[in-house]
Amino acid sequence: MLSRDTLQQQLAFTIAEIDVPGLGDKIQGKVRDSYVLGDRRVLVTSDRLSAFDVILTTVPFKGEVLNRMAAYWFNATKDIVENHIIDVPHPNIFVARQVEILPVEVIVRGYLTGSAWRDYSAGKDVSGVALPQGMKKSQRFDTPLLTPSTKAERGEHDMPISCAEIVSSGLVEKSLWSEVERVAQELFAFGSKEAASRGLILVDTKYEFGTYLDASGKRRLVLADEVHTSDSSRYWISASYAERYAAGEDP
């Protein structure tokens, strides 16, 4: 466990900007920067902290923690869906297959909280889903709710979109979207079970998917970006959930 003193000493050495000479043009994201090398993509995870689509600051070792968590979960879920990871040559770096990323983020929610609660309490649907009346904040859904959003450019805000709109607008073809929905629910069920075994609740999470053509010309779905990390997911402590929920407190 890192001490507060150690973290403070490292504040001057966080990875805020990334420059890798010889890898070509950098594609900058909110947290990860990447370089395309033929059919491979090198992703470097920085220490940048992003919230509500805005970069706020940097946190010592954050990039390494995220990268290691993602590597663990990509390996743990590889029997559910193929992923884009080829190698992890450095604590902050992935080498991944170059894939065509789907133009939507797939958010799965096990509990009514966050932006879903804000929309619900304002009388709005949640990504096109009309929820029952009388639900409470932090209440568990009988079936996890899939609430996609658009993928915003850096500095812009992601916007909710319904599953029906994704298909009708042509963002994702119908059969592929059906596969995405199935896989997302399987991933969330697996993540929830693993979290529960460690005294945690996987509250909600974000998945990103892509596709590539295999040797036979078949388009294959792959899990990309990150999975079940502290950046892409919300966790609660299992032991205190029931008491805090009953008291109307945030778990």
Of the candidate ranges 20-34, 72-86, 150-164, the one whose mean pLDDT is the lowest: 150-164
Closest CA to 32 of 55, 12, 10: 55
Q: Categorize the per-residue pLDDT at 7 as very low, low, confident or very high, splitting at 50, 70 and 90.
A: confident
When pLDDT is averaged across residues 215-236 and rounded to a whole number, the result is 96
88 CB-near residues (< 8 Å, 6+ apart): 67, 71, 94, 95
Predicted TM-score (pTM) above 0.75: yes
Q: Categorize the per-residue pLDDT at 189 as very low, low, confident or very high, splitting at 50, 70 and 90.
A: very high
Q: Is a pLDDT exceeding 70 seen at residue 154?
A: no
pLDDT value for 50: 84
Q: Categorize the per-residue pLDDT at 230 as very low, low, confident or very high, splitting at 50, 70 and 90.
A: very high
Domains of the chain from N-terminus onward: 4-97 (3.30.200.20), 100-246 (3.30.470.20)
Q: Is a pLDDT exceeding 60 seen at residue 155?
A: no
pLDDT value for 157: 66
DSSP string for residues in 136-184 = -TTPEEEEEEE--EE-PPTTS---B--HHHHHHTTSS-HHHHHHHHHHH
Closest CA to 194 of 241, 224, 225, 227: 227
User: CA-based Rg of the chain, rounded to a whole angstrom?
Assistant: 19
pLDDT digits (tens, 9 = 90+) for 46-57: 999 988 778 889
What Å distances lie between residue 58 and 1, 8, 74, 91, 100, CA to CA?
A: 19, 12, 25, 17, 29
pLDDT value for 60: 94
Q: Is a pLDDT exceeding 90 seen at residue 196?
A: yes
